[in-house]
Structure 1
């Protein structure tokens, strides 16, 4: 029986949440995209529990000339293929191609990407979680009234140690721990007791 999560949205930062990061540089080759342990299973569990799962990432490497759109599309094609193999689905990928100097509204911690996702998918912020490993991820969702979740993969441990997190931030070891917790919390009471 599917869990009633059809109106619930999970926004994932990509690097450090879904996949390993190498030297804080954008991944330009699909061969370098390596899923973090449990992250593909986490997305599969969320998908099968009727959550809508999307990705929102700052991709300043495009603006800095470190990665082309073709390279980014190839990396994302590999990401989608691996997620599909485990039974998961990503409903969309949003990214900001700008550098910080562009002062755009879409680059996290600003909420432009999050607002666009909510608008396009007809979702409400109060039913939305954003899972990230940096303060800017948490601030982007907090500013629109959604729920921030910090994972301790990627830069997460450093973020937890050095930053003042938004007040209602929940902290998880990794994406799989987040997924299991969310699904358990959103399960009807009769399923919890079974």
Structure 2
């Protein structure tokens, strides 16, 4: 089994100024959903790992998060794609949980759920915390220059504190094409 663990905000959808607190706030990035469909068509299972501190901070509730993800699933299905599962950390910053990225807990939960070794997992994100959380898995690490990393040059070396061995892509589509080549 091939598994891709994607971040959500800034990779699949626009980062936005504040929290994405309703389905109306969730807007996919151009080409991102098509990239997920491409991964699926090539036999990849795709899951999302996302920090959702708005839950812990009371800015939205679990029903709103479910509705946001239902929109994401519908829009993906319309393009022939799917996300098998969404794993999220509901804790606010400062709660010192083991699942809030860059802590590795969320990534470890996913690896255990699927029973995979790190080498068969591709972790794709647009922020340092997502890749830091996955660095200990032995997974293939892929950075997409969107969202929090939009200012990075995909052809330039990554400065510290980025983990070693990160492959950099201009878009999620580029990352998906590299993985499926």
Mapping 1:103-122, distance limit 5 Å: 103-122=96-115
Counterpart check, 1:12 vs 2:6: yes
* Alpha-carbon distance in 2 for matches of 1:30, 1:102: 26
Higher helix residue share? 1
Alignment pair present for 1:178 and 2:166: no
Q: Does 1:92 align with 2:85?
A: yes
Q: Provide the TM-score with structure 2 as the length reference.
A: 0.93
How far apart in 2 are the matches of 1:15 and 1:34?
10
Unmatched tracts of structure 2, length 5 or more: none
Deviations for 1:42-85, whole angstroms, at most 9, x for unmatched residues? 00010111101000000011111111111111100000000111
The size of the alignment, in residue pairs, is 177
Structure 1 position 100, deviation (Å): 2.5
Per-residue CA deviation, residues 89-115 of structure 1 (Å, 9 max, x unaligned), is: 111000001122111111111111111
Partner of 1:190: none
Larger Rg: 1
The equivalent of 2:28 in structure 1 is: 35
Number of the residue aligned with 2:56 = 63
Cα displacement string for residues 98-141 of structure 1 (whole angstroms, at most 9, x for unaligned residues): 12211111111111111111111122211111111111111111
State the secondary structure of the residue aligned to 2:142.
Answer: strand
* C-alpha distance in structure 1 between counterparts of 2:152 and 2:117, whole Å: 27
TM-score by length of 1: 0.87
RMSD: 1.4
